A and B are shown apart, each in its own frame.
Chain A
Amino acid sequence: MPTRTPVLDDRAIGRALARMASELVERCGGTEDVVLVGIQRRGVELAARIRGLIEQSSGARLGFGKLDITLYRDDLQAIGPRPVIGETSLPDLDGKTVVIVDDVLFTGRTVRAALDECADFGRPRRVLLCVLVDRGGRELPIQADIVGGSVTAGPRDRVDVLVSELDGRDAVELVRAD
C-alpha cells in the first residue's frame, strides 16, 4: 500500500509563496519587464498567486502567461498522448525576464520542454525557474533559481501538489511507492 505523508500544509505553502514572491522581485531586480509563465496545470495557479502577492506589495502589473508543454515532450511514445491539452497563451517575450513557474521540479524534462517552447515564442533577455517543491532526481542539468521547499523522494515515489483552485485545498504530499 502506498503511504501518503504531508510535506507542506496550507499555511506552510502560504509562507513559501510569500518568500518566493519577494525572492523573485529581488532576483529580477524589480518588476519591470518581468513575465510570469505558469506551466499547465498547477504551475499556472501558483504563478497567478505569486503574481497576486507581488502586485499587492509593489502595486506594479506583471506580465503573465500560460504554457502547456505537452506538444514539446520528448516521451510521446512512452506515455501516450494527453487526451486534453491545456491552453498556451503567452505575451510578447522578446527582451523580457521570463520566470517559469511550476509545482514540482523532478527530472528537469518539463523545464527543458518549457524552455524550448518559450524559444519558439520569442527571445527573452533572461529566463528564471521558480518551483514550489524540488524533489531531486534530475536527469538534465537544470536547477531552480527560486525554490519553495525540498523533499527527498525516491524515483518511484510521487509528490502531489494540491491547490485549492483545482483540488479544494492547498497541500504538498509525498506518496511513497511502498
Chain B
Amino acid sequence: MTRSAVLGKDLTGLEPLDADQLRLILDTAEPFKEVSERPIKKVPALRGKTIVNLFFEASTRTRISFEFAEKRLSADTVNVAASGSSVSKGETLVDTARNLEAMRIDMVVIRHGASGAAQFLGDRIRSNVVNAGDGKHEHPTQGLLDLLTLRDRFGKLAGLKVAICGDVLHSRVARSNIWGLTKLGAEVGVCGPPTLLPRDVRELGVTVLPRIEDAIAWADALNILRLQLERMQAGFIPSLREYNRVFGVSRERLARAPKDLLIMHPGPMNRGVEIDSDVADGEHSVILPQVTNGVAVRMAVLYLLAGGSPDWHHPGGDHA
C-alpha cells in the first residue's frame, strides 16, 4: 500500500482534509497547469503505475478529465464502465474490490451512485482510492478545481463570498465545495428552494440565502448547480419553467448585482433552467477554465497520493 505522506491512502472527500492539505493540493496543481501547455503534455512521474477508472455511473467529463490527468502523468490506465449498479450487474462492490486487488493495481478512481462507495472500496483494498463522485456525498476533485478557479481569479479564498445555488440536497459538488471553501476561510452561502436544501445545512457553517436575488446581492461568485430533471417528477419543484423563473440565474438578475460576479457551473448545464445561455457564455463565466483546472488538480491529487514516505527535507541540490 502506498500511503501518501501528505494525503493518506485515499481521497474520499474534502471533509477529512485540513487547510494545509487543501493548500498543498492547490499549490501542486499550479505546475501541472503548465505541463498541459507543453509541446509534449506528458511527464513520467507515474510511469509504471496502473490506474483503474471504475465508473458505475455514466460521466463523460469527469472520466475524460481523470484519464487525461493519468495519461499526462504517464500512468497506465484501464477504464471500466460498469453501467447500472453493481447489484444489477450481479457482482457486489466488495467482490469488485477484491478482483481489482487481485490484479495488483496501484490506484482506483471510482464514480458510484451510492454515497460512501469510495470509502467502502478504500477500506477494503490496499490500492489508493480517489473518489470521482459518490452518490450525494462528495466529489472532491470537483471541489478542488472550483477552489483553484476561484483562487486564480481572486488571488485568495479567505474572506471570499461564494454562493452555491440550486439543488444542494442531492449535490456532491455542493458538499465538497462547502468543506473546501469553509476550511480555507471563504464564506459560503447556499441558495435554492427549501425543498432542495439539506436538513440542518447551517450546521456546516453556511448561510442560507432564501432567494436567488439575495445570493446575487451577497456573493462574489456563484457556483450554479445542475438541476437534475428528475427532481420535478419526485415532487421537489413544480416545473422547470417555474424553477427558471424563481431561481434561474439570468443576465437581468445579474445586472442588479452591486458588483460583477464570477459565474461557475460544474456541468453539464441545463441552459434555460438553472442558468441562462447569455450568462453561461458571458464574460464573467469561468466554466471553461474550470474544466482546464480539472485536469491540473486531478494530476496533483494522483501525484500526491502516489508518493511514498516523506523524506523531502533536503536542502536543494542534495539529490543531484
Query: Within the complex, are A and B direct neighbours (CB within 8 Å)?
Result: yes
Q: Which residues in A have some Cβ–Cβ distance to B below 8 Å?
A: 39-43, 68, 70-73, 76-89, 102-107, 109-111, 116-117, 120-122, 131, 158-161, 166
Cα distance A120–B312 when bound, in Å? Answer: 26
Cα distance A62–B310 when bound, in Å? Answer: 38
B6 to chain A: which residues have CB within 8 Å?
Answer: 81, 83
B309 contacts the other chain (CB 8 A): yes
A71 to chain B: which residues have CB within 8 Å?
Answer: 31, 35, 43-45, 73, 303
- Beyond A42-B316, A110-B320, A160-B317, whether A85 also contacts B28 by CB under 8 A is yes
B304 contacts the other chain (CB 8 A): yes
A82 touches B317 (CB 8 A): no
B38 to chain A: which residues have CB within 8 Å?
Answer: 120-121
B283 contacts the other chain (CB 8 A): no
User: Taking the nearest CB of chain A, how far is it from the CB of B2, in angstroms?
Assistant: 7
With most chain A CB atoms within 10 A of its CB, the pick from B27, B35, B38, B316 is B316
Q: Which residues in B have some Cβ–Cβ distance to A below 8 Å?
A: 2, 4-6, 24, 27-28, 30-32, 34-35, 38-40, 42-46, 73, 303-304, 306-312, 314-320
Cα distance A42–B24 when bound, in Å? Answer: 22
Contact of A41 among B31, B35, B308, B316 (CB under 8 A): B316
User: Taking the nearest CB of chain B, how far is it from the CB of A174, in angstroms?
Assistant: 12
B73 to chain A: which residues have CB within 8 Å?
Answer: 71
Contact of A79 among B2, B42, B44, B311 (CB under 8 A): B311
User: Taking the nearest CB of chain A, how far is it from the CB of B23, in angstroms?
Assistant: 10
A39 to chain B: which residues have CB within 8 Å?
Answer: 320
A106 to chain B: which residues have CB within 8 Å?
Answer: 318-320
B31 touches A88 (CB 8 A): yes
B28 touches A83 (CB 8 A): yes
Interface SS of B by simple majority: loop
B39 touches A122 (CB 8 A): yes
**CB pairs A–B below 8 angstroms (23 shown):** A40-B316, A41-B316, A42-B317, A71-B31, A71-B43, A73-B45, A76-B45, A80-B5, A81-B6, A81-B307, A82-B312, A83-B28, A84-B28, A85-B28, A102-B320, A103-B316, A106-B318, A107-B319, A110-B319, A120-B39, A121-B39, A159-B318, A161-B317
A72 touches B39 (CB 8 A): no
B303 touches A116 (CB 8 A): no
A103 to chain B: which residues have CB within 8 Å?
Answer: 316-317, 320
10 additional contacts (CB under 8 A) given A68-B31, A121-B38, A121-B40: A76-B308, A77-B308, A80-B312, A81-B304, A83-B312, A103-B320, A106-B318, A110-B319, A110-B320, A116-B44
A78 to chain B: which residues have CB within 8 Å?
Answer: 308, 311
B45 touches A72 (CB 8 A): yes
Cα distance A121–B38 when bound, in Å? Answer: 7
- Beyond A81-B303, A83-B24, whether A159 also contacts B308 by CB under 8 A is no
Cα distance A102–B185 when bound, in Å? Answer: 39
A83 to chain B: which residues have CB within 8 Å?
Answer: 6, 24, 27-28, 312
- Beyond A42-B317, A76-B308, whether A87 also contacts B40 by CB under 8 A is no
User: Taking the nearest CB of chain A, how far is it from the CB of B39, in angstroms?
Assistant: 6
A73 to chain B: which residues have CB within 8 Å?
Answer: 45, 319
B320 to chain A: which residues have CB within 8 Å?
Answer: 39, 102-107, 109-111, 131
Contact of B318 among A88, A111, A122, A158 (CB under 8 A): A158
Cα distance A104–B28 when bound, in Å? Answer: 25
- Beyond A106-B319, A107-B320, whether A76 also contacts B306 by CB under 8 A is yes
- Beyond A103-B316, A116-B44, A160-B317, whether A80 also contacts B34 by CB under 8 A is no
User: Taking the nearest CB of chain B, how far is it from the CB of A65, in angstroms?
Assistant: 12
B306 to chain A: which residues have CB within 8 Å?
Answer: 76-77, 81
Cα distance A116–B40 when bound, in Å? Answer: 12
Closest to A132 in B: B317
Closest to A161 in B: B317
Cα distance A117–B35 when bound, in Å? Answer: 11
User: Taking the nearest CB of chain B, how far is it from the CB of A158, in angstroms?
Assistant: 6
Cα distance A72–B23 when bound, in Å? Answer: 23
B317 to chain A: which residues have CB within 8 Å?
Answer: 42-43, 102-104, 159-161
A72 to chain B: which residues have CB within 8 Å?
Answer: 43-45
B27 touches A120 (CB 8 A): no
